[in-house]
Structure 1
Amino acid sequence: MQQNKIKGTPGLGLLGTTLGFFFGFAAVSLYGPTAIKFKEAMELTPVMMGLLVAIPALSGSLLRIPFGAWVDTTGGKKPFLILLILSVIGLGGITILLNFTYPDKMHGLYGLILFLGFLSGAGIATFSVGIAQTSYWFPKKKQGVALGAYAGLGNLAPGLFSLILPFYLQSFGFISAYFAWFLFLLIGTIIYAVISQNAYYFQFRKRGKNDKESRTQAKELGQEMFPAGNVKDSLINSAKIKNTWALVALYFTTFGGFIGLTAWFPIYWSQFHDFSLTKAGLFTAIFSLLASAIRVYGGKLADKAGGEKVSLVSLLLVLVASIFLSYTQSVLIGFFSVILLAVGMGVNNAAVFKLVPDYVPKAIGGAAGWIGGLGAFGGFVIPPIMGAIANTYGKIGYAHGFFVFIVLAIFNLGIIVYLFRQHQRKTEMK
């Protein structure tokens, strides 16, 4: 009788988390394409612009750690909703601020805008919550496909809005865009609250059943993955596993890089190649959409070929693309290099989370928090560094900034070779 009250299916669970992450990530898609507007109103330097477009990634990365681990005790819906609400507050706040101060009264407000951008970035932090929430819905053999679909489709948000925003700005204006995005996020938060469900185990626990009973009945319904301990335990247990930190480094480069470049590319295309805002937005959208969409395929490929092999090839693509981008002034070569970069980053992002249940099976939420959080921290760190390089070298510095990814790719190739050898040794011992 009790089981009849249990709600949801794996498919519905995946739909809820994917939509929630899509709406949350959409909240920060404005910052990159509109950075030029802030530059004009407040006379920002390249470094200040880099920090402005990166600030949502700071909260979007750091909040992933505790909120991702929290899933192991709640199932995910509660921490997910809290993050979406924080993002609503941040985006609503900056919308009100712009309505009263843009463009002539914005001097001296840079710090406040950074703070509101920090709050808006909480929407990005839903990623680690959704990863763990989704993971508990699916068996091990389907983790790559499920997590690839979740992350790939959810990650489409910044690309889609990088494509739409320039046309919206031309038609309706700067402040109207922020108001529209605020309403979109608010509606999305309500939709997530209505349709999202936690996996069966957490529903049984909420109904007062003990751990053993909840596991038994959840297994009867098909659930395979279960948490081990509370939030603190999940973080500590996953942190003790050294391979968690190897996965953090891999994710820092490709997902942190993805977030950072989605915000940075409008600046790169407009300042280095003198593109219009609309054209820069279009080229940014191509990168973001491709990196997101191919992540779905990357999950399937990782299931079939193995996460380590797929990650190795992906990082080689990132390395080659970064070398070309660092030194070319050709739009054509730059464009095809960006395509290569998007493929490498998107596929590696899927491969990394395919490896999480293999390396950290008893603390998925904690691992997702560390990997998603510290990995996404790259989205905050990388744009200001690229801005500093541009500040130092002038216009050509916008190209030389990609040297950051050459260094990161080489370092990560060493890590994945280590993991690959470790995997081979385990296979031989079986």
Structure 2
Amino acid sequence: MAGKGFMQAGHKPSLFSSFLYFDVSFMVWVLLGPLAVIIMGDFDMTASQKANLVALPVLGGSILRLVLGFMTDRIGPKRTGQIGMLLTMIPLFWAWQFANTLSSMYFVALLLGIAGASFAAALPLASRWYPPQYQGLAMGIAGAGNSGTVITTLFANRIATYYGDWHIVFGFALIPIVITFIVFTILAKDSPNQPAPATLKDYGRMFGQRDTWLFCLLYSVTFGGFVGMATYLTIFFNTQYNLAPVRAADFTTICVIAGSFFRPVGGWLADKLGGIRMLITLYAGVAILLAFISGLPPLGFVTVLLFIMMMLLGMGNGAVFQLVPQRFRKEIGIMTGIVGAAGGIGGYFLPKILGNVKEATGSYSTGFLILSGIALICIVAILVVQKDWKSSWVGQGGRAQTTTEISA
């Protein structure tokens, strides 16, 4: 298989199913991001409470990814995905029909994390069909399902404004979930190369390895940065630049498009140039852009900066998961859940940092500078371990790699 081209390798219906499942789940996962500026019209919320509302789905997703990752290893990614979609319908129906208090919306927000946990089933469904040399592209295509964020930011506030009721948006969201469940059930197929089910001891062993924590840090900044920004930017544009809800969501859409569609590019470039070199360059770019954004420049300029930053974060997602299967080929199911959970935790803390700093200081500037510093920490961490990676990864992951390939 390793000698075949990408189009001849793997299982395309499962790759498409993985993308579709991830795409629709992402759409649901970030629903509260753009809707928050409309929902806050019904509830008197502080800046930190707004941040809590949009951050809770991300926290729920990060916790439940470990659960779905464990299920994926036990019952396979297809059945795990089916269960995940069925459970996702519960908070959508509840928000549509019953959620009329802020506490009930917090409950809905946490349960929406089930959709975010789709990561732990969708990526192994695709990954297990492909050999190491196509991991970056395959994982990038499946992971491009985060483009579902674009659907949410583009249409959620428009639907709420048109009907004069934000509850109905959750009812509409049930339609694509049901359709995706049917398509997924028909097309998705588990790879015959399923690893042995992981045990809790296996998870404990992974947490005892330094590289596990390092990948968690790296992904908490790339993926966490993307999803955190995607959920919070509408609030940022609304409060900082006084944009109306629909217009604020439109500006968010412009930025989110970059991160969504450049994830496969990041995986492909990492395959060609090397994930380590890619990540160092991307984190440096993100740190610089965040430093500029902290100056809170005019709307047009800050939008351009955010667009480029989201593009870099999207490519960083693909680059991280080009490296993970090389380092942990036999434990990819476990690592997908662990690293994915870390990404969700990063996405939880980003709105919290911006919201809490805004409430404490009256400005977003310090919050963006803190995020810039975190990106610089990632560069330092990679530089510290790079030499060890070059020597220890040779011959791992099912494809013998040269030192040059790994260090690139």
| Comparing 231-240 and 171-180, the one that deviates more | 231-240
For residue 122 of structure 2, the aligned residue among 126, 130, 135 is: 130
Conserved? CA contact 2:258–2:308, under 8 Å: no
Q: Does 1:354 align with 2:322?
A: yes
RMSD across aligned positions (CA): 2.0
Shift in Å, 1:329? 3.0
Q: Does 1:371 align with 2:339?
A: yes
What's the secondary structure of 1:362's corresponding residue? coil
What's the secondary structure of 1:236's corresponding residue? helix
Shift in Å, 1:234? 4.1
The count of aligned residue pairs is: 387
1:303-325: CA deviation from partner (whole Å, max 9, x where unpaired):
00111111111101110111011
Aligned runs of 1:273-312 on 2, under 5 Å?
Answer: 273-312=241-280
Name the residue aligned to 2:174. 182
Conserved? CA contact 1:26–1:161, under 8 Å: yes
Name the residue aligned to 2:381. 415
How far apart, in 2, do the equivalents of 1:110 and 1:282 lie?
25
Name the residue aligned to 2:390. 424
Aligned runs of 1:92-111 on 2, under 5 Å?
Answer: 92-98=93-99, 106=100, 109-111=101-103
For residue 302 of structure 2, the aligned residue among 329, 334, 337 is: 334
TM-score norm. by structure 2 comes to 0.90
How far apart, in 1, do the equivalents of 2:42 and 2:55 lie?
18
Shift in Å, 1:37? 2.2
Name the residue aligned to 1:214. none
Shift in Å, 1:279? 1.6
Aligned runs of 1:13-24 on 2, under 5 Å?
Answer: 13-24=14-25
1:386-425: CA deviation from partner (whole Å, max 9, x where unpaired):
111111122xx23432223112101111112134322333
What's the secondary structure of 1:41's corresponding residue? coil
Conserved? CA contact 2:10–2:130, under 8 Å: no
Name the residue aligned to 1:141. 133
Shift in Å, 1:428? 5.2
How far apart, in 2, do the equivalents of 1:333 and 1:63 lie?
37
Name the residue aligned to 1:172. 163
Give the aligned residue type for 1:292.
Answer: S
Q: Does 1:248 align with 2:216?
A: yes
What's the secondary structure of 1:329's corresponding residue? coil
Name the residue aligned to 1:161. 152
Give the aligned residue type for 1:42.
Answer: F
How far apart, in 1, do the equivalents of 2:336 and 2:357 lie?
32
Give the aligned residue type for 1:53.
Answer: V
How far apart, in 1, do the equivalents of 2:311 and 2:146 lie?
14
Shift in Å, 1:155? 0.6
Change (3 A) 1:128 1:198: same
Name the residue aligned to 1:263. 231
How far apart, in 2, do the equivalents of 1:23 and 1:45 lie?
30
1:255-275: CA deviation from partner (whole Å, max 9, x where unpaired):
111111111000000100111
Percent of residue pairs identical = 26
- Structure index of larger Rg: 1
Q: Does 1:406 align with 2:372?
A: yes
Aligned runs of 1:29-68 on 2, under 5 Å?
Answer: 29-68=30-69
Give unpaired runs (5+ residues) of structure 1: 1-7, 99-105, 203-226
1:138-163: CA deviation from partner (whole Å, max 9, x where unpaired):
111100000001101x0100122201
